[in-house]
Structure 1
Amino acid sequence: MERTLPLVGRTAVVTGAARGLGEGMARALVRRGADVALLGHEESELARVAASLPPGRAAHWQVDVTDEAAMARTASEVEQRFGPPSVLVANAGVSSGGLFLDDDPATWRRVVDVNLIGSAVTARVFLPGLLLTRGYYLQVASLAAIAPAPLMSAYCASKSGVEAFAHCVRAELAHRGVAVGVAYLSWTDTDMIRGAQHHDSLRALRARMPWPADRTYAPQPVVDRLVRGIERRSPAIYAQPWLRAAQAARACLPAVVTHRSRRELGRLAGRADLSATGLLGAGGEADAEAAGLR
């Protein structure tokens, strides 16, 4: 059993585990033999996920990933409950849309704080445990780290940032036995992406993206690919195979996006509401409330 399930008896920590891909990865990691610590903002949703998993195999902590003191306490409690982690998944994230000059500065900053600063805080408090187990840290990035997207400046900046951060940490920890991976994924059918469909600006963005970037992908195949990558300690995980080609072409993408945007945004002006969306989806709403943005 242990030869086929390398995560048996291991401890995994997943942030943003209350819903979406975080919840899906937590469930898959338990099925693959790991005990899982569920971290996130939404107490009731975290409790629901934990209660649905086999007894003793999961526990949850309500915590803001940007709060370093609270995260340090949580890391200590996780280790007391399950032992040092062998897997860390920095998945917590929020998004917003709209033109940069029209966006609420506090909302723009919150996206960067949760996605980038929150990932760094998560790494800082849990990496000492991974050093003990010679474990694996997966940083969830996005197509937004590879290609710029108008109307999503905060999200793209934060996901580019976490990609660079993960590469730096990988280089610093390689000689100490800790592996670091970056996950790249396109639009996946989660609460956040469904929330984007309620806004003219993001519907317009999606409609004008070239195939296959305009598609929305089912979450379970994405979860399965991410967890296989965790088991293999992969340095890069592409949730959709075509993202490898996007990675290879990334030097050309800013010019291509600018060319298309010059035409398309001009057409949209006056026809679509390009105003700022606020944080997207139920998870974004919960985060905005906790952060005092609403």
Structure 2
Amino acid sequence: MRVIPGTGRRRSPVPPLRGRVAVVTGAARGVGEALARRLSEAGMLVALVGREEETLCRAAESLPGPTVCVEADVTDPAALAHAARRIAAELGQASVVVANAGIAAAGPFAHTPADLWQRVVDVNLTGSANTARAFLPQLARTRGYFLQIASTAAFGSAPMMSAYCASKAGVESFAQALRGEVEPDGIAVGIAYLHWTDTDMVTGIDAHPVLRALRHNQPRFTRAVHSTAQVADWLTAGITHRAHQIYAPPWLRWCQPLRPAFPPLVTRLARRELRRQSSTRLVADTGVLGAGGRADLDAHRSEQRPSPPRRP
């Protein structure tokens, strides 16, 4: 028996990942891409699912093992069902499915466009449920593992990120409920809590005055930004042992008992910073964060536009 890095749990050794099939959503960049690489290096056959087909397939081609690249919007159940069938046909039944696809938006709720707010919740929360629904039949056959990527945003909601925080609290609750339902089928469900990670989403957060202040008011050791490769290592260790919780970084597990204190503390810090900022500045900083979020929102809005009428 040993402690699993990043999980806070003691587990016996389990069979290696080599030769099994893993599916990672949101795999075109960031944590998803890094995790797909790490699982491929561990000998898994990896299916990368995401919105940016060119970027996604370029990432897939760079991996050392067998891969499949599938362009799919996680908010589209039919597209995910098609992806599941294609992956099973080309790689085999999935043993590991990681619901990683996610976007974020910053800014005052009252000034955030309704379609942007809704899109964050649709991708992060409904997209995770759609992913589970599409792949649960395969995971039941392989007695596999479903990993839900959450965030410390589930610990305490940050003002100016209402949609993101609501969606991450939602996916935590979803995964906890799902765990009890699918355990009789031999499926394990894990929740990964990610903190500051070196993605373009975090770069966007640091550009926002209130969110930047909230980060810089945290204790020094908690402000460290971890590389996507390091986070992928922590996630892979948890996947290997089918952990119920994965903490990236590992010290986050000690924050669980302190969660009731986080919301009032964050609110107090935010109130102080909000008083220093002009409403004009806060509204100007409203929008989606990161290149991946912008690509998803642009594609979604393009799909929503009515097609031009055909000429007779």
1:226 aligns with 2:235: yes
The whole-number CA distance in structure 2 between the counterparts of 1:156 and 1:292 is: 23
The whole-number CA distance in structure 1 between the counterparts of 2:138 and 2:196 is: 32
The whole-number CA distance in structure 1 between the counterparts of 2:208 and 2:275 is: 18
The whole-number CA distance in structure 2 between the counterparts of 1:156 and 1:210 is: 21
Q: TM-score by structure 1 length?
A: 0.93
Provide the secondary structure at the position in 1 that maps to 2:118: helix
Q: 1:80-137 deviations in whole A, cap 9, x for unaligned?
A: 1111100000000000101111211111111000000000000000011000000000
The whole-number CA distance in structure 1 between the counterparts of 2:295 and 2:175 is: 27
The correspondence for 1:152, drawn from 133, 157, 161, is 161
User: CA separation of 1:70/1:192 partners in 2, compared to 1, >3 Å: closer, same or farther?
Assistant: same
Extract unaligned runs of 5+ from structure 1.
Answer: none
The correspondence for 2:16, drawn from 6, 30, 46, is 6
Extract unaligned runs of 5+ from structure 2.
Answer: 1-12, 306-312
Provide the secondary structure at the position in 2 that maps to 1:139: strand
The whole-number CA distance in structure 1 between the counterparts of 2:213 and 2:112 is: 17
**214-223 or 174-183: bigger deviation:** 214-223
* Aligned-pair CA distance for 1:223: 0.9
The whole-number CA distance in structure 1 between the counterparts of 2:201 and 2:112 is: 18
AA paired with 1:134?
A: R
Give me the CA root mean square deviation.
Answer: 1.9
The whole-number CA distance in structure 2 between the counterparts of 1:5 and 1:162 is: 28
**Structure 2 matches for 1:235-274, cutoff 5 A?**
235-269=244-278, 272-274=281-283
AA paired with 1:61?
A: V
Q: TM-score by structure 2 length?
A: 0.88
The correspondence for 1:34, drawn from 41, 44, 47, is 44
* Aligned-pair CA distance for 1:241: 2.2
AA paired with 2:169?
A: S
**Structure 2 matches for 1:1-294, cutoff 5 A?**
6-54=16-64, 57-269=66-278, 272-292=281-301
Identity over aligned pairs, percent: 51
**16-25 or 211-220: bigger deviation:** 211-220
Provide the secondary structure at the position in 2 that maps to 1:251: helix
AA paired with 2:254?
A: A
AA paired with 2:151?
A: S
AA paired with 2:232?
A: V
User: CA separation of 1:264/1:196 partners in 2, compared to 1, >3 Å: closer, same or farther?
Assistant: closer
* Aligned-pair CA distance for 1:260: 2.3
Between Structure 1 and Structure 2, the one with more strand by share is 2
**232-241 or 206-215: bigger deviation:** 206-215
* Aligned-pair CA distance for 1:151: 0.9
